[in-house]
Structure 1
């Protein structure tokens, strides 16, 4: 499976870039799935809903299905957080999986960077970052794209993964 990451510090523009890339790449006829790493506890169902009641009762997995979507929730219940490799193995086959976060994993990535938050670039010390998408010009040893030039960034990623 072809994978490519979008990484960067908080408020760097990762999610907006991911959203634009998914729209751009799927408009070109490719199937895309995404993986997003969260650094905190999150909820996908709500108290009072049947799925929430099943999960709170102790179910390890709750599969919610309708004619429009399927959602599988897996409670870790003391298990270690699954690796990115384990999570990717659970996905259905697609042309490309875009990964948001997982900055320490070894897959190729593009770094989203905004100057306003004041965070340093990750790219100079990380060879897995193949390009940077920034809101300001940068002098680096790899390609630098305008953060909002979705077409050029999508072209780069698709060439990198040979699609």
Structure 2
């Protein structure tokens, strides 16, 4: 599977960019899956549902299936967070996997950058960042795109992965 990351500090525009890229790239006929890294505790299940009760009772994994979607919830229960390669192996084959976060992993990435939060560029310290999508012009040794020019960013990513 081909993969490409979108990284950046909090409030840099990562999620919006990934959302627009998924729409743009699937609109071109490619299949796309995403992996999103969260630094905080997340729970996609709702208290009181049967699946929630199964997990609360101690189930290691709960697979919830319906006519619209399938969700697999796995409780780590103190085990280490799975590495990116383990998570990628769980996905069904697609043309492209977009990864939001996992900035310390060494796959190709585009950095989302906004000036308002006042954070430094990550790209100046990381050669796995192949381009920057920014809300301000930047002079760098790699391509810089307007953060809102989704088509150009998609063209770049698709070219990078050979699609």
Which of the five TM-score ranges fits, normalised by the shorter chain?
over 0.9
Q: Deviations over 1:82-119 (max 9, x none)?
A: 00000000000000000000000010000000000000
Q: Which residue of 2 aligns with 1:98?
A: 98
Q: Which residue of 1 aligns with 2:115?
A: 115
Task: Say which SS state the counterpart of residue 41 (structure 1) adopts.
Answer: coil
| 2:64 maps to 1:64 | yes
Structure 1 residue 78, shift from structure 2 partner: 1.3
Structure 1 residue 81, shift from structure 2 partner: 0.4
Structure 1 residue 70, shift from structure 2 partner: 0.2
Q: Which runs of 4+ in 1 moved over 3 A?
A: none
Give me the whole-angstrom Cα distance separating, in 1, the residues matched to 2:77 and 2:43: 15
Q: Which residue of 1 aligns with 2:76?
A: 76
Q: Which residue of 2 aligns with 1:134?
A: 134
Q: Which residue of 1 aligns with 2:151?
A: 151
Q: Which residue of 2 aligns with 1:51?
A: 51
Which ranges of structure 2 fall in alignment gaps of 5 or more residues? Answer: none
Structure 1 residue 25, shift from structure 2 partner: 0.2
Give me the whole-angstrom Cα distance separating, in 2, the residues matched to 1:70 and 1:16: 24
How many residues end up aligned between the 2 structures? 163
TM-score (norm 1): 0.99
Structure 1 residue 42, shift from structure 2 partner: 0.6
Q: Which residue of 2 aligns with 1:6?
A: 6
Q: Deviations over 1:110-155 (max 9, x none)?
A: 0000000000000011000000000000000000000000000000
Give me the whole-angstrom Cα distance separating, in 1, the residues matched to 2:79 and 2:105: 20
Which ranges of structure 1 fall in alignment gaps of 5 or more residues? Answer: none
Task: Say which SS state the counterpart of residue 159 (structure 2) adopts.
Answer: helix
Task: Name the Cα RMSD after superposition.
Answer: 0.3
Give me the whole-angstrom Cα distance separating, in 2, the residues matched to 1:83 and 1:61: 18
